[in-house]
Amino acid sequence: MSTEQSTPEVDVDVVIVGAGGGGLAAALAAADAGASVVVLEKLDAPGGNTALSTGSIPAAGSRFQREAGVEDDPDRMTADLLRQSGPHEAEHLTRRLAETSAALVEWLVDDHAIGLSLITDYKHVGHTVTRLHAPRSRRGIDLSNDLVAACRRAGVDIVTGNPVTELVVEDGAVRGVVVEGERTERHVIRAGAVVLAANGFAANRDLVARWAPELAGLEYFGAHGSTGEAIEWGLELGATMRNRSAFQGYAAVAYPHGSILSWTTQEKGGVIVDSRGVRLGDEIVGYSGFAAEVLTGTAPIWAVYDARIRDITLREEEFAELVEMGGAKECATIDDLASVVGVDVEALRSTLDAYAAAARGDEPDSHGRTDFGIAPLEPPYVASRVSPGLFHTQGGLDVDDDARVLRENGSPVPGLFAVGGVAAGVSGQQGGRGYSSGNGLLTAVGLGRLAGTAAAEGQA
Ligand X SMILES: Cc1cc2nc3c(=O)[nH]c(=O)nc-3n(C[C@H](O)[C@H](O)[C@H](O)COP(=O)(O)OP(=O)(O)OC[C@H]3O[C@@H](n4cnc5c(N)ncnc54)[C@H](O)[C@@H]3O)c2cc1C
Residues of this chain that interact with ligand X (CB under 6 A) are 17-23, 40-43, 47-50, 52-56, 163-164, 197-199, 221-223, 225-226, 229, 248, 260, 391-392, 420-421, 438-442, 444
Given the complex with ligand X, which of 247 and 302 has the nearer CB atom?
247
Given the complex with ligand X, which of 220 and 302 has the nearer CB atom?
220
How far, CA to CA in Å, does 22 sit from each of 167, 190, 243?
19, 21, 19
Q: Give, to the nearest 10 degrees, the angle between helix 21-32 and helix 140-153.
A: 30
Taking the complex as a whole, how short is the minimal distance between the CB of residue 307 and ligand X, in angstroms? 26
Contact 212, 225 (CB under 8 A): no
Is the bond into 256 cis (omega within 30 degrees of 0)?
yes
d(CA 285, CA 434): 9
d(CA 206, CA 160): 26
- CA atoms in the 13 A half-sphere facing the CB of 27: 31
d(CA 404, CA 398): 8
Cα 151 from chain centroid? 21
Taking the complex as a whole, how short is the minimal distance between the CB of residue 76 and ligand X, in angstroms? 18
- CA atoms in the 13 A half-sphere facing the CB of 366: 13
Taking the complex as a whole, how short is the minimal distance between the CB of residue 369 and ligand X, in angstroms? 24
Given the complex with ligand X, which of 312 and 442 has the nearer CB atom?
442
Given the complex with ligand X, which of 227 and 351 has the nearer CB atom?
227
Given the complex with ligand X, which of 15 and 328 has the nearer CB atom?
15
Q: Which helix (H) or strand (E) holds 158?
A: strand 157-159
Taking the complex as a whole, how short is the minimal distance between the CB of residue 17 and ligand X, in angstroms? 5
Contact 379, 349 (CB under 8 A): no
d(CA 71, CA 454): 31
Taking the complex as a whole, how short is the minimal distance between the CB of residue 353 and ligand X, in angstroms? 34
Minimal CA–CA distance to 237: which of 308, 327, 163, 169? 169
The percent helix, strand, coil of the chain (3-state, each to 5) is 35, 25, 40
Given the complex with ligand X, which of 178 and 348 has the nearer CB atom?
178
Given the complex with ligand X, which of 234 and 277 has the nearer CB atom?
234
Secondary structure E strands in 232-300: 241-242, 247-254, 271-273
DSSP letter (8 states) at residue 222 = S
Given the complex with ligand X, which of 133 and 367 has the nearer CB atom?
133
Taking the complex as a whole, how short is the minimal distance between the CB of residue 94 and ligand X, in angstroms? 14
Given the complex with ligand X, which of 49 and 65 has the nearer CB atom?
49
Taking the complex as a whole, how short is the minimal distance between the CB of residue 350 and ligand X, in angstroms? 34
d(CA 221, CA 203): 9
Taking the complex as a whole, how short is the minimal distance between the CB of residue 118 and ligand X, in angstroms? 14
Taking the complex as a whole, how short is the minimal distance between the CB of residue 20 and ligand X, in angstroms? 2
Given the complex with ligand X, which of 196 and 280 has the nearer CB atom?
196
Contacts of the segment 333-342: beta carbons below 8 A, 24+ positions apart: 333/379, 333/381, 334/379, 334/381, 336/381, 337/304, 337/381, 337/383, 338/277, 340/383, 341/273, 341/277, 341/300, 341/302, 341/304, 341/383, 342/275, 342/300
Contact 302, 384 (CB under 8 A): yes
Given the complex with ligand X, which of 203 and 292 has the nearer CB atom?
203
Taking the complex as a whole, how short is the minimal distance between the CB of residue 381 and ligand X, in angstroms? 26
Taking the complex as a whole, how short is the minimal distance between the CB of residue 89 and ligand X, in angstroms? 18
- CA atoms in the 13 A half-sphere facing the CB of 190: 9
DSSP string, 163-187: -EEEEEEETTEEEEEEEEETTEEEE
